[in-house]
Chains A and B, each alone.
Chain A
Amino acid sequence: MELLNLSIRELNKLFVNKKAKPSELYSEIFDRSASSEAALHAHLSLFEETNLEKAKNSDERFSNSENVGLLDGIPLAIKDNINIKNEKTTCSSKMLSNFVSPYNATVISKLDTEQAIYTGKTNLDEFAMGSSTENSAFGLTRNPWNTDYVPGGSSGGSAASVASRSSIAALGSDTGGSIRQPASFCGLVGFKPTYGTVSRYGLVAFASSLDQIGPISKSVDDARIIYSSISGHDSLDSTSINDEQIDLPFDKNATIGIVKELMEDGISEESKKEVDKVIDILKQKGYNIKEVSLPLIKLSISIYYLIAPAECSANLARFDGVRYGLRVDGKTSYEMMENTRAEGFGDEVKRRILLGTYALSAGYYDEYYGKALRARKKMVDEFSSIFKECDYLISPTTPTEAFKAGEKTSNPLEMYMSDLCTIPANLAGLPAISIPTGLSSNNLPLGVQIMSKPLTDNSLLNFSEMLEKELDFNRTPEDWSK
C-alpha cells in the first residue's frame, strides 16, 4: 500500500484498524529516501538503523491497542539545529560537525512521549542563516519540484524531505521565515507558532527573540497535530508562555486584512495573483475583506538585520573550540579560539556575527541596535492596532517562486529580500502560516501567508484549514530524479 501520501490522521486510522503497520510505513519512508537523497540531499543523517526498533515497538502497541496517540509510529524529519540525545547536531556547520548532543530538546522529549519516530536530521543553512539551504557546510539541498531550484531555507532540508515523501512531516525553525518560505517553495504547509508557545530549549539559538520551532507538513491538520504535541509551557525556557489560547472567528464573521505594503513593489505578479485567488474565494464565502496598511513593515528587513545579527553575535560566541566541536590549535588559548572560529564558520555566519558585533559596539548601539529595538516596538504596536480591526492578515509568503541554485549566492542583500513578507511575524511574535495555493508558470509552487494576533494559533489553523479545503492544491512533485 502506498502510505507516503497519506495524512497523519489517515495513517493513524489504518494503524488503529490494523490495516497497516508503522514498520511498513517505516520501510516505505526509507525506501523513498534511499532513492531521493542522492538527487535532493534533504537529510544530513538518516536514522534507519537506530529507529527500526521504535517502529517495531509501535507495531506492537497498535497490535495490542496500546498506541499512545496520533503521532505513534509516524516518521518525522528533524532540522539539524534541534538536539536529539546521542545524535549529532551539526547545524550544517563545520564548527559542530562532530558534536553529539548529550540531551534532548524539549520538543523531542514531547514527541518521544508520543512515540513519534525520526527519519533523521535535515539540512539547513548554517546555523539557520540563509534562505536557500545553500549555506550548508555539507552541500546544498535541492527542490523536489525542480532540482535546478533551491528548496528555500533555512529549513530547506525539512521541506525537501516532506515534499519528496521521505518523511511524513518535519520540524523546522523559523527566525525570519525559515519554515514558511521553504514550505511555500516546496508546496507545503509551514507554520510558525506564536513566540513562546513552543519551547526553544534544545534548539540551537540563532536569534533568541525571533526563533520559533514549528512544523512543515503536507496539510494544515498535520501541522495542527504536531503543534499540539510540541507546544505548551516549559520551565526550561524562560521565554515560554503559559497563557491560554484566544479564540477568533474563522467563519465568515471573521475580518480579513490584505496587507497593502506586501502587495507593492518587490512582489512578483504571480505571487500577488495567489493572494487575489484567495481573496476571491473568501469574497465568495461572504468574508469581510479590507486593505490595511502597516507602514513600518517596509522597515522590517532593516530592523531584522540589526536585531538578528546582534543576538547571533552573542549566541554563537560559545563556539570557541574550548569545550566541544571543532578545535583548531594555536599557540595560546586566544589564538586557538580565533583559529577555530576562522575555520569553523562559513561566510554568511561570519558576515552576520560581524554585523551584529558592530551594531552592539560602544558608540554605535544607540544608532543601530537601540534604534532597531525601538522600531520593533513600534511595529508591534502597529500590528496590535491592526488586529483590533482584522482577525487575519493575508499576504504572499514569498515575493517570488523558488529561485535557481546559485542565483542569489553572490548577492546577500537580494537573498535577504526573499524574507520580506515573513520577517514581520517574527519581529512581532505573531503566529503565521504558509499554505500552498498553486503553481507558477514554471511549475513551481506558490503560497500565501496568513498571520493573526499572538495566541490565536488554533484559530489560525482552523481558518487555514478552511482555505486549504477551498484551494484544493493537492499536488505532489513528480520525478525529482531528473
Chain B
Amino acid sequence: MNLKPTIGIETHIELNTNTKMFCRCKVVDTEDPNISLCPTCIGLPGALPVPNEKAIRYITLLALATGCAITKKGMFHRKNYFYPDLPKNYQISQFDLPVGENGKLEIVIDNEKDYVEIERVHMEEDTGKSSHEGTGRIDSATSTSLDFNRSGVPLVEIVTKPVIQSSKVAVAYIEELRQLAIDLDISEGKLEKGNLRFDANISVAPSKSDELGTKVEIKNMNSLRSLERAIDYEIKRQSSAIENGESIIQETRHWDESKETTTSMRSKEGSADYRYFSDPDLPNMVLSDKFVNQVKESLPSLPHENRNKLVETGLDLSDSNVLSKSEKWILELYFKVFDNTKDSKATFNWITGELQGQMRKLEIKSLPEWFSPNFLSDIIQLIDANKISFTSGKVILEELIQKDTTPDDVAKKLNLYQENDESAISKIVNEVIKNNQDIVERIKNGEDKLVGFMVGQIIKSSGGSINPGIAKEILSKELNL
C-alpha cells in the first residue's frame, strides 16, 4: 500500500520580554527555584492579570512576519485543566480570536523554495516547571518539586496547518521559525534552554486518499535531532500498523530519547475538555490599525528577504539559506566583504569556512574590534592576484583575529608575499639545483617523489615567498622533466 504521512507542528516560543505576561515579575534565567514570583503568577486568591503590551507587540511582529491576517478585536481565553505547575489551574491563552491567522513561512529544501502554511499565531502564558522524582511521570512520581519562575512567562504559539510531509521539512520549518524569532529579536531561540518547544501531530493515510489518517500527537522532543527521529519513527510505526490492518488510536505519545521510540501517555490531560471561555478579568485585545502599522514599520529584514538579497549576489539558494541562519554580524560581514570582492563564492567560503573555523578553534564568539571587513576582502583579493598563497591567507587571517594589525603588515612581517618575477624565481631554482646535484641525478633516474623535496628546498630558500605551483613549474622546465 502506498502511504503518505501528514504532519502539523505546534511550536511555543518563549518571548524575551523583561517581565512576565500578566504581572511585573522579572523573567529570570536561573536554576534557583521560585525567586521571581508574585500573587498573580502563583495564583494567590484575589490576584489579577494585567497584559504585557510588549509581549503583544512581539506576537504581532511574528504574526505579521509570517504573513498572517491580524485579528483587530482579539480575546484572551481561559484554557482549563488541572496540573500542579499551573497555578490557577487554567492557562490564559487565546481561542477563536488569535492575534494572527492564515500565514505562511518560506523555507529552503534542497536548493528550492518551499512554503509551510501557518494556521494561527497566538499568545499563551507559560506554566511552572515540575520535576517528578522517581519515575519522571506525574502519575507514578514519589514526589514532585515545583518551580514557578517560568510561570506566566509570555509565549507565542505557532500552529501550522497539516501540510508537512517529511521530517526534513519539519526540521527546516523549525530552523526557519527559530531564525525568524531571533531576527525579530523576540526570543533567544535557544532550543537547549527550552526557549523554543514543539509538538508534532502525525498521521498516515493512503497516498490517493483525500482524507487524513487518525492523528497522533508526539510530545517531549527536545532537539531538532529528536524531532527528526521521532517523526521518522512515528511514520514507520503508523505505516506498519496500517499495513498490518491495525487501526491507529488518537492519542498523545511521548518521545523516549534514550530508546528512540514513542510510547503512549496515559495521563489525564490527554483527553481533556479545556472548556475555553473568554477571560472575564481581561478586556478584549484590541489591535488598532495604528498599532499594527507601527509594528509593521518596525519589522527588520526577514530571513527570506535576506536570502533573496544573498541570491542576488550570486550565491545559490542553499548557501544563502546557510548564511540567512547565521548570526547577524556574519550576514553583515558577508555583504561588506562582497561589496569589495564581488566574488560571492570566495566571500562565502572564507566567512563560513576559514573565519568561523578559526573562531571555533580559538573559542571566540565575536570578532575583535580592530577586525575590519576590509581585512577579509584584502586577503581574498591578494590570493586572487596571486600575491599570496591560499595557505598564507589563512595564516594572515589567524594573525588578524589575534592581533591588532593589518593584512599587509602580517604579510610583510612573515614574508608571505609571493615572488612573481620569473627570472628571480629561476635564479633561486638554479641555485637550488646547483646545491643538490645528487638529488637532481636521482630525479633524472626516475625517483619522481624527490621533486617535492626540491620544491620544498626552493620555497625554503625563498623564505616562503614562492608559490609552490610556480616553483614546481619552473623546476620542471629547468630539469627538462
Contact = CB atoms under 8 A, between A and B. Distances in A.
Interface stretch (A198-206, A380-388, A400-408, A413-421): A198-206
B42 A99 contact: no
Interface in B259-297: 268, 273, 275-277, 280-283
B356 interface: no
A383 B78 CA distance: 29
B138 A334 contact: yes
Interface of A: 81-83, 89, 91, 96, 99, 101-103, 105, 200-205, 207-209, 235-239, 310-311, 313-314, 317-320, 322-324, 332-334, 337, 357, 360-362, 365, 369
Contacts of B241: none
Which of B44, B47, B273 has the most chain A CB within a 10 Å cutoff? B44
Nearest to B43: A318
A322 B34 CA distance: 14
A130 to B, nearest CB: 18
B90 interface: yes
Contacts of B226: none
Contact of B46 (A201, A317, A362): A201
B88 A317 contact: yes
Given A201-B46, A332-B139, 14 more contacts: A83-B45, A89-B45, A89-B46, A200-B48, A202-B47, A236-B48, A238-B281, A239-B280, A239-B281, A314-B80, A314-B88, A318-B87, A334-B82, A365-B275
15 contacts: A81-B46, A82-B46, A101-B44, A201-B47, A201-B48, A202-B46, A204-B46, A205-B281, A235-B50, A237-B50, A313-B80, A318-B88, A323-B42, A333-B144, A361-B275
A357 B276 CA distance: 11
A81 B44 CA distance: 12
Contacts of A208: 280-281
A333 B276 CA distance: 24
A99 B39 CA distance: 13
Given A238-B51, A320-B82, A360-B275, A334 B280 contact: no
Nearest to B281: A208
A96 B45 CA distance: 9
A208 B48 CA distance: 10
Given A238-B50, A332-B139, A99 B45 contact: yes
A209 B280 contact: yes
Contact size range, B? 20 to 34
Contacts of A360: 80, 275-277
Contacts of B44: 101-103, 324
Interface string B123-144: 0000000000000001111001
A103 B80 CA distance: 26
A342 B247 CA distance: 39
B141 A205 contact: no
A453 B140 CA distance: 56
Contacts of A82: 46
A82 B47 CA distance: 11
A323 B87 contact: yes
A314 B277 contact: yes
Contacts of A207: 280
Contact of B146 (A313, A322, A362): A322
B34 to A, nearest CB: 10
B424 to A, nearest CB: 81
Contacts of B42: 323
Nearest to A358: B275
B84 interface: yes
Contacts of B89: 314, 317-318, 320
A103 B38 CA distance: 9
B138 A333 contact: yes
A201 B23 CA distance: 12
B49 interface: yes
B280 A311 contact: yes
Interface in B67-115: 78, 80, 82, 84, 87-90
